[in-house]
Structure 1
């Protein structure tokens, strides 16, 4: 027997007798080409392989490349053999929400969407139950304070379970508070690498436009202190500067901001890009973006429409034309790295850039643009009126405010973002003394069913966004809002009454969106006299009123039958300006000929809802 085994061994090839360990379950994330991060990636990976290191903290200045580094580590798990079962990524951010972190983890380990409705404590038990039986890696991006792992449900990594927690933060103290066994500082770039990055962003054409520019450019790059975000931002800002005067001016401006700490070292550098924007309009548009919460996906279309209603896009009188200016501004801010792309339809502000804009407002724009921003700050009550009675723009969106009970006196307020709260009650006097309010966003307040009659006091209002609220009736008092240019009633499924001659009163209306109203809701709410209500399900009365809206530029409306569609198509105003059409409850035939819509010149979206027979 032993001889037979020996014979088999002599004839066989046994260089590989088992398969390599498969890569862990990981979602590969998009990432730009890393800049001089190879050595840091290797350092982190060595810690991952070290059984004595369970928690790893990556800290450094904002904009230094911590998220890029963490993304590279995440993706490396998909290509490098390892014995981890799952790799989980979760964005934390300032004023973090434990429930949202749990939701991101739940998505990664396969919990259903309905699981998100559980309480924080229940979610923690579920997450712990799953992860305690796995060898896992959790990657937490952008910690501003200690995250309680027990509260989230993450088992503490140890030698026994072999799991890992890797996080990024701006602060060394957070590494200590999180119990990081290994703290790795993400350093700024060495001068040679920084110069390579800066050259790449400025471009050879500009650098070669005058023999003295390369030396001046090196001085500008040096003033960036090796911070990738500053190098990229200022490099692109200088990409078209081909005169010595422009470069010398840049050096002088940067020299004036030689301050020792992060806020004073980073923000002045970034402010240079702000100062370099071509006009006051673009600067105002950038500052406007900080009204949104940190890491918020800002819809580009909605942003431009708000700018238009605010009067910031003053080159054009019609939104259809102003969109070109708005798109130009968005693209210019993207090119200057003051905004970031987030898919095709959204933009984001880097957290350092957002902080910088808030710093600019605080330090330099106090008289011109006084802002009050508590977006995403987990507020449960409206802020003290005295804190915002003098401001021009205010945002408390994405909080947990349920009641607005005060009667603020705000003579300067132009912008008020109240969206994505839990509003149920707005006092009748809340809008009484805000005479110059121009933009009011109440969207995505799912508990809001009634508008106060005092909204009639907002005679300067040009934009009213009620989308995705549960408001059941538009009060006739809205009639006094004769300056309205934008009215968004989309996703208002409970809206069952629009008073007659209300919509026709908005003669300056340029943007009008109304969504599908559920027929079951209409059947349950027959209390409204039909002659006083244009929201009768088929929208024919509504369309009749809309024929007087000669300024209309953007229209989105649901159509319920072919007869209504033919009437709609017969009117030139609707044919010219309809951008979105929703065909709802079509039951007349099994086919629909889309060629009948060929005369809708600006149609961008066509949606079929509850058309089972088609």
Structure 2
């Protein structure tokens, strides 16, 4: 690329500088609106710059995939849309444009002194010693509360009408935790013939709630039309006269008419004597609207229980409980105001800090100050977020792309982190292993709860990034921010959103084709044949085609996807053969299915060069193996287990 290499190197250097500036300006942006605006613009240009470098990488991969074409076609290439001359001209223009933008912002930064003093980030070694804890081991001071609720519910056995018990209190008090303790209690298990759990949050929809209850009670999918009268009859049929307990978690809707006129007549007219609905909510008004039993207000933990919960986190990961640290820790616990989520998060944060001065710095932070007896958990969560490594911040903030209470698959989440370059290689630790370290660390610090997020943590993730969006309805489409880079939407929403992403050059995660795409999930679709255009996604790392039951054929040029690491073909029962020359995909770590073919380039010998394969591999059509010699070639015993 004669004439461009100098500009490209300059851009790479500038991007490293930009990364440093963003890290230094982050803290100041929270209190300075001008810095925040400047930082947002700098982030946008950083994405634009990264896309320019991505164009170089993409073109290199495209040309590599074309090696071996005839001389005539190479000559013709100079006068087509893929002409090296046209590419050089276009990239020269893009490079100069983005460098001009970066230089302008850096000059503005120097003029107005926007950069704060350099803040060195302490890097903590990745630990492999801790594993995910059983949640029951982290519950302190709630046994008495559980006994009270269980006794109250069992005492309603002679009530002919369905009773409603609200559990309310501010976020982070452990309302859902208490509800789970009650739900799984042995006496409750034996007392109720039907037990159902439904999470609502912001989406308090009558039809959705009825369908969920019908599915839970009948243990099968409800495909009925959205007609209230039909759903009412089906509800009566599946519940009958069974004594049931229904947990409705995280209710926000304060529309009294919706409860009194729509839901209460339906839910409170079914089931046998002693049936119960338990509601968790932050709103006292919701509790007042739905109650038939006196609402149970969640109280903060006692001083002793607070200390035990905090110490369980802070001193169980290699940090010794020294007298001075314990003294500082008790003052920090007092700032947490007895809020379990705050205590767990702060304990997880301090479990990585061994020096007294580090603990004192946390103590002196402006967090959780008592304002008229009211404690807030969000400032504490934000402080804990600040102390995450830059990689962990990116990985956590990305989770805002999922809906509230979305159950994230660990492997899939790590693949998305990898696809977006949030994880950097470190020594001999590969990206997958590093991703697992980050996931476990986020769980340990209570930013994730196994494969879900507490709704307050979801609020925090949305608060710290404007680059992720989950589209839950067409009404939200107009509100999409210009800087969104990661978007999640359902198949129906994607179909309704044609043209929605026009001009969004920075988009990295979406079910759509783009040359910058690293991750593509078409699972469960009715596709019969993948388009050949997929083979132009040279940057693609993960392709998920799980349960594409009608898929018969893969594109013939899939061997071009040299960056492909994960290919999921579970449930592709109609797949007749692989693509030719599959053995060229040397980076494949996960290949779930291989269909043996008879033509050249389709035989089982294609597996012999895939030395990075791990996990399980399903081999189909073994009867088509031509000879015993071919069967020996894959050398499966030499591959990773």
Q: Which residue of 2 aligns with 1:220?
A: 332
3-state SS of paired residue (2:412): helix
Deviations 1:79-115 (CA, angstroms, capped at 9, x unpaired): 6985x54443333333145555445533553x25254
Report the Cα distance in structure 2 between the residues aligned to 1:180 and 1:30, rounded to whole angstroms: 31
Match of 1:373 among 466, 469, 484: 469
Cα displacement string for residues 424-466 of structure 1 (whole angstroms, at most 9, x for unaligned residues): xxxxxx4xx3334333336xxxxxxxxxxxx4xx232232222
Distance in 2 (alpha carbons) for counterparts of 1:208 and 1:478: 54
Aligned to 2:35: none
Residue 512 of structure 1: how far off its partner (Å): 3.1
Label 1:142 to 1:471 Cα distance change in 2 as closer, same or farther (>3 A): same
Tell me the distance in 2 between the aligned counterparts of 1:475 and 1:372. Answer: 28
1:176-575 counterparts in 2 under 5 A?
A: 176-203=288-315, 210-255=322-367, 265-277=376-388, 279-315=389-425, 321-341=430-450, 347-361=451-465, 370-375=466-471, 377=472, 379-380=473-474, 383-384=477-478, 387-397=480-490, 400=493, 402-406=495-499, 408=501, 430=502, 433-441=503-511, 455=513, 458-500=514-556, 502-514=557-569, 517-519=572-574, 537-539=576-578, 542-544=579-581, 546-560=582-596, 567-569=603-605, 571-575=607-611
Q: 8 Å contact 2:484–2:506 — kept in the other structure? A: no
* Counterparts in 2 of 1:158 and 1:405: CA distance versus 1, 3 Å: closer
Instruction: State the distance in 2 between where 1:402 and 1:205 align.
Output: 48
Tell me the CA shift for residue 267 of structure 1.
1.0
Q: Secondary structure at the match of 2:141?
A: coil
Decide whether the 8 Å contact of 1:143 with 1:168 is kept in 2: yes
1:168 and 1:36 map into 2 onto residues whose CA distance is 19
2:102 alignment counterpart: none
CA 479–171 in structure 1, closer or farther in 2 if over 3 Å, else same: same
CA distance in 1, matches of 2:291, 2:444: 39
- How far the C-alpha of 1:560 sits from its partner, in A, is 4.8
TM-superposition CA deviations, 1:139-195 (whole Å, max 9, x none): 222222257485598542799944322211111111122244311101111222212
Question: Do the aligned residues in 2 keep the contact of 1:259 with 1:265 (CA within 8 Å)?
Answer: no
What is the Cα deviation at residue 251 of structure 1? 0.8
Residue in structure 2 matched with residue 35 of structure 1 by the alignment: 140
Deviation (angstroms), 1:323: 0.4
Task: Find the residue that maps to 1:176 and give its secondary structure.
Answer: helix
RCO greater where, 1 or 2, for CA within 8 Å and sep 6 or more? 2
Cα deviations by residue, 1:395-415 (Å, 9 ceiling, x for unpaired): 33587553223264xxxxxxx
Q: Cα deviations across residues 272-319 of structure 1 (Å, max 9, x unaligned)?
A: 221222x2111110111121111111111111111111111122699x
Q: Which of 220, 225, 248 pairs up with 1:113?
A: 220
SS in 2 for 1:242: coil
Counterpart CA distance in 2 for 1:88 and 1:566 is: 49
Does structure 1 conserve the Cα–Cα contact (< 8 Å) formed by 2:584 and 2:609?
no
- Structure 2 contact 150–188 (Cα < 8 Å) conserved: no
Matching residue within 35, 44, 51 for 2:149: 44
In structure 2, the residue corresponding to 1:248 is in which secondary structure?
Answer: helix
Take 2:409 and 2:392, find their aligned partners in 1: how far apart are those partners? 17
**May I ask how many residue pairs the two structures share in their alignment?**
495
Rounded to whole Å, the distance in 2 between the matches of 1:209 and 1:133 is: 55
In structure 2, relative to structure 1, the CA distance for the partners of 1:171 and 1:513 (3 Å cut) is same
The aligned counterpart of 2:53 is none
State yes or no: 1:92 paired with 2:203.
no
Contact 1:462 1:486 survives alignment (8 Å): yes
- What TM-score do the two structures reach when normalised by structure 1? 0.70
Aligned-residue offset at 1:469: 1.9
Specify the alignment match of 1:126 in structure 2.
Answer: 234
Q: Name the CA distance, whole Å, in 1 between partners of 2:619 and 2:607.
A: 18
Shift of 1:229: 1.2
The CA RMSD over aligned residues, in Å, is 3.9
SS of 1:394 mapped into structure 2: strand
Q: Which has the higher strand share?
A: 1
SS in 1 for 2:401: coil
Change in 2 beyond 3 A, CA 1:595/1:55: farther
Tell me the distance in 1 between the aligned counterparts of 2:282 and 2:527.
Answer: 43
